[in-house]
């Protein structure tokens, strides 16, 4: 299932709507990294609200996305991790270190706006 | 001791067996005699018992008069249970007694001790009464011992059950009271933890906190563990995991009031302290949280 990537002002928003296969995740990674420069975006939001499972591959891929996007000159925020998912991830040692996280889309947008304001 | 009911002489065999279900009359007659004996000597046996209790230094939490009053009711209930062979009244009494004496710090061994003492006192009086007629003494004891054992058992079990019920109730009360997640400012939660954290409570705490972060849309959480004297490695790990899980929900956690012992535990289990945001006391934690949220607290006027 392909993940739609929406452009919203300076930011890109990718909302994951159902459980993704590993191939879908890799596809999302490629698409985001390509589009972030093509759209001249300053931030990327990946919304995982509807995911009720986050396995090691998904969390590693999201971390890689964040690192690659940073190299491409933008910020990444993962938003909407469910409380149960968050605790399960931590127990599995999937901590998404160095990746910004926020409660939901609104928070993520606020976080990115603040970051781009302070760097501008 | 095989008995074939269809055999022609089974009735005769039954007659020889006193105390079987089919033929309880001699035993019940003996029991009645026994009860009458205990009733007749009520005052003397009761006093003897109360004296033995004091001697054995049991029920030290109670005064002499109280011991005597309780001894009287236990004695009467005991004799009644022997007489009727039903234990409901005694059970209810044991529960009632336990309810009254547990808050005063009476221990299990004391309750079992006094019941066994009573059993001993009564048995001795039976020995004294029937010492001339050994067969009769034997049969009286056959009737007395099982009933007395059951009574001791009933009272002890009643006491322990009551204790367990109280412990369960208290545990539940603590559990319910123990994990308040409080909002002190827009987007700022505090979670004061008091008492011992066991793995069960730790899990509950985490669940409540993560849910609280979501419903209150919190950005900063202050976890205050001033009231926690010690925690083991498992729980310390759990605390660290809670901090990390909160971060995944986009909230920053500040831990305040770590005692020296807990600091030691956390260092011993090798947690990367770089990820833990700790402040000495709750006030400092709230001040830092306010800074993170962009609040500035200004004194409006001189307080009176």
Distances (CA, A) of B213 to A103, B201, B218, B252: 8, 18, 5, 10
Higher pLDDT, A94 or B175: A94
pLDDT in tens, B248-275: 999 999 999 988 888 888 888 877 666 7
Q: What is the mean pLDDT of residues B169-182?
A: 79
**Is A95–B244 a contact, with Cβ atoms under 8 angstroms apart?**
yes
| Banded pLDDT at B18 (limits 50, 70, 90) | very low
pLDDT in tens, B204-225: 889 889 999 999 999 999 999 9
For chain A, list the domains and their CATH numbers. Answer: 5-119 (3.30.750.24)
The answer to whether B209 and A83 are in contact (CB under 8 A) is: no
What are the chain A neighbours of B248 within 8 Å (beta carbons)?
A: 78, 81, 85-86, 89-90, 95-96, 101
SS (H, E, C) chain B: CCCCCCCCCHHHHHHHCCCCCCCCHHHHHHHHHHHHHHHHCHHHHHHHHHHHHHHCCCCCCCCHHHHHHHHHHHHHHHHHHHHHCCCHHHHHHHHHHHHHHHHHCCCHHHHHHHHHHHHHHHHHHHHHHHCCCHHHHHHHHHHHHHHHHHHHHHHHHHHHHHHHHHHHHHHHHHHHHCCCCEEEECCEEEEEEECCCCHHHHHHHHHHHHHHHHHHCCCEEEEEEEECCCCCHHHHHHHHHHHHHHHHCCCEEEEECCCHHHHHHHHHCCCCHHHCEEECCHHHHHHHHHHHHCCCCCCCCCCC
What are the chain B neighbours of A102 within 8 Å (beta carbons)?
A: 250
CA angle A101, A102, A103 (to 5 degrees): 140
What is the structure's pLDDT at B178?
A: 67
Q: What is the mean pLDDT of residues B112-141?
A: 86
Yes or no: is domain B182-293 CATH 3.30.750.24?
yes
What are the chain B neighbours of A91 within 8 Å (beta carbons)?
A: 241
DSSP state letter for A94: -
Q: What is the mean pLDDT of residues B87-101?
A: 82
List beta partners, residue B194: B227
**Is A103–B251 a contact, with Cβ atoms under 8 angstroms apart?**
yes
Task: Please list the residue range(s) of chain B that carry CATH number 1.10.490.70.
Answer: 12-173
What is the structure's pLDDT at B5?
A: 46
pLDDT in tens, A58-95: 999 999 999 999 998 899 999 999 999 999 999 998 88
Fold of B12-173: Globin-like (1.10.490)
**Is A103–B244 a contact, with Cβ atoms under 8 angstroms apart?**
no
**Is A83–B251 a contact, with Cβ atoms under 8 angstroms apart?**
no
What ipTM describes this predicted complex?
0.83
Task: Please list the residue range(s) of chain B that carry CATH number 3.30.750.24.
Answer: 182-293
How many Cβ contacts (< 8 angstroms) between chains A and B? 51
Higher pLDDT, B17 or B159: B159
């Amino acid at each position: 299932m392909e993940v739609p990537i929406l452009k919203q002002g300076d930011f890109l928003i990718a909302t994951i709507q159902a459980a993704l296969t590993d191939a879908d995740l890799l596809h999302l990674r490629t698409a985001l990294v390509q589009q972030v420069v093509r759209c001249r975006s300053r931030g990327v939001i990946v919304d995982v609200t509807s995911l009720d499972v986050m396995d090691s591959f998904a969390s590693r891929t999201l971390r890689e996305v964040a690192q690659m996007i940073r190299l491409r000159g933008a910020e990444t925020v993962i938003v909407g991790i469910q409380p149960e998912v968050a605790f399960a991830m931590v127990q599995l040692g999937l901590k998404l270190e160095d990746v910004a996280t926020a409660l939901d889309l609104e928070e993520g947008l606020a976080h990115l706006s603040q970051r781009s304001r302070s760097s501008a | 001791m095989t008995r074939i009911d269809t055999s022609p002489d089974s009735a005769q065999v039954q007659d020889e067996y006193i105390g079987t279900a089919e033929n309880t009359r001699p035993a019940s007659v003996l029991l009645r005699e026994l009860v009458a004996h205990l009733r007749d000597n009520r005052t003397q046996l009761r006093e003897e018992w109360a004296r033995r209790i004091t001697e054995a230094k049991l029920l030290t939490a109670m005064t002499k008069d109280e011991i005597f009053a309780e001894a009287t009711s236990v004695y009467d209930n005991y004799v009644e249970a022997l007489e009727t062979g039903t234990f409901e009244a005694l059970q209810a009494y044991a529960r009632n007694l336990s309810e009254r004496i547990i808050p005063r710090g009476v221990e299990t061994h004391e309750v079992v001790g006094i019941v066994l003492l009573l059993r001993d006192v009564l048995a001795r009086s039976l020995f004294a009464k029937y010492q001339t007629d050994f067969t009769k003494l034997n049969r009286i004891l056959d009737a007395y011992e099982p009933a007395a054992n059951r009574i001791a058992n009933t009272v002890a079990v009643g006491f322990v059950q009551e204790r367990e019920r109280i412990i369960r109730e208290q545990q539940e009360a603590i559990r319910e009271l123990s994990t308040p997640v409080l909002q002190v400012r827009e987007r700022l939660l505090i979670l004061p933890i008091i008492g011992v954290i066991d793995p069960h409570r730790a899990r509950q705490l985490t669940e409540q906190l993560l849910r609280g972060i979501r419903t209150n849309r919190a950005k900063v959480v202050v976890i205050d563990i001033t009231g926690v004297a010690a925690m083991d490695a498992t729980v310390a790990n759990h605390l660290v995991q809670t901090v990390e899980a909160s971060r995944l929900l986009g909230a920053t956690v500040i831990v305040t009031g770590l005692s020296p012992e807990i600091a030691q535990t956390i260092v011993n289990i090798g947690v990367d302290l770089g990820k833990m945001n700790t402040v000495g006391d709750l006030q400092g934690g709230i001040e830092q949280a306010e800074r993170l949220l962009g609040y500035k607290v200004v004194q409006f006027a001189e307080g009176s």
